[in-house]
Amino acid sequence: MSSGKKIKSAVVAICVLTGVSAGQEGGSAPQPRDAGQGFIPLSDVLSKNIKGIYVEGAELARDGGALYRQALEYADYRRKAQKRGAIKRGVSASCSESIPNNLLCPQAAARSIAKENAKAEKKQKRAVDDEGPGAGQIAGWFLEGDVGKLGGVSERMLVRALRLFPKWESLRRSHEAVLGYDGCVPPAVAASLGGKAEEFFPDPKFIDLAAAFYAKADRCGNGDSSDKARYRGSLLRIWNGRCLEAEKYLIKLSEQKDGDFVARSLYWRHYCAKLSGNKMLASALRGRLQREFPLSYHSLILSRGRGSDITRLLSPSEPLVAFRSALLPELNDPVRAAETLIDSGAHALALEMLDVVEDRLGGAEIPFRIYVAALSGRAGDRIGQFRLLSEVFYDEPSTITRGTLEMFYPLRRFDILKNQGHKMDPFLIAAVIRQESGFSENARSPAGAMGLMQLMPATARRMERVSRRELFDAKTNIRLGVRYFHGLLMRYKQDAELALAAYNAGPERVEDWRRRYKTSNRMLFLDMIPFKETRDYVVLIARNYFWYLNLYAVGEQAPEDGAWERVIASRRNPVMFTMFSR
CATH number at residue 547: 1.10.530.10
Tell me what pLDDT residue 64 has.
52
Domain co-membership, 143 together with 55: no
Domain co-membership, 426 together with 484: yes
120-149 mean pLDDT: 83
Least confident of 64-68, 281-285, 415-419: 64-68
Asked if pLDDT for residue 34 goes beyond 80, the answer is no
Among 106, 127, 148, the domain-final residue is 127
| 379 neighbors 49 (Cβ within 8 angstroms) | no
Q: Is 292 a catalytic residue?
A: no
Domain co-membership, 165 together with 30: no
Tell me what pLDDT residue 572 has.
61
Residues spanned by the domain of 23: 3-127
Asked if pLDDT for residue 37 goes beyond 50, the answer is no
Domain co-membership, 449 together with 567: yes
Contacts of 357 (CB under 8 A, 6+ apart): 331, 334, 335, 338, 372
Q: Is 524 inside a domain boundary?
A: yes
Tell me what pLDDT residue 426 has.
93
d(CA 201, CA 404) in angstroms, rounded, equals 43
Domain co-membership, 255 together with 276: yes
Q: Is 367 helix (H, G, I), strand (E, B) or coil?
A: helix
Task: Output the CA torsion sign for 98, 100, 102, 104.
Answer: positive
Tell me what pLDDT residue 43 has.
92
Asked if pLDDT for residue 4 goes beyond 50, the answer is no
Tell me what pLDDT residue 84 has.
65
Question: DSSP secondary-structure letter at 40?
Answer: E
Tell me what pLDDT residue 212 has.
98
Asked if pLDDT for residue 147 goes beyond 70, the answer is yes
Domain co-membership, 561 together with 438: yes
Q: Is 533 inside a domain boundary?
A: yes
Give the percent of the chain with pLDDT over 90: 61
Give tens-digit pLDDT for 48-75.
888 888 887 644 555 556 777 888 888 8
Among 290, 312, 338, the domain-final residue is 290
Q: How many CA atoms lie within 13 A of 378 on its CB side?
A: 25
| 158 neighbors 150 (Cβ within 8 angstroms) | yes
**Selected catalytic residue, list 339, 436, 441, 533:** 436
The torsion angle over the Cα atoms of residues 164, 167, 170 and 175, rounded to 10 degrees, is: 100
- 558 — alpha (psi -120 to 50), left (phi > 0) or beta? beta
Query: Between vectors from CA 349 to CA 345 and to CA 352, what angle results, nearest 5°?
Result: 145
Q: Is 402 inside a domain boundary?
A: no
DSSP codes joined into one string, 243-284: HHHHHHHHHHHHTSSS-TTHHHHHHHHHHHHHHHT-HHHHHH
Q: Is 455 helix (H, G, I), strand (E, B) or coil?
A: strand
Tell me what pLDDT residue 121 has.
72
Tell me what pLDDT residue 318 has.
87
Among 127, 145, 167, the domain-final residue is 127
Give tens-digit pLDDT for 340-387.
889 888 999 899 889 889 888 999 999 999 999 999 999 999 999 999
Q: Is 261 inside a domain boundary?
A: yes
Domain co-membership, 427 together with 574: yes
Q: What is the number of domains present in the chain? A: 3
Q: Is 562 inside a domain boundary?
A: yes
Q: Is 368 inside a domain boundary?
A: no
Give tens-digit pLDDT for 465-480.
999 999 999 999 999 9
d(CA 400, CA 350) in angstroms, rounded, equals 26
Q: Is 338 inside a domain boundary?
A: no
Q: Is 73 inside a domain boundary?
A: yes
Give tens-digit pLDDT for 536-545.
999 999 999 9
Asked if pLDDT for residue 560 goes beyond 50, the answer is yes
Band the pLDDT of 262: cuts 50, 70, 90. Answer: very high
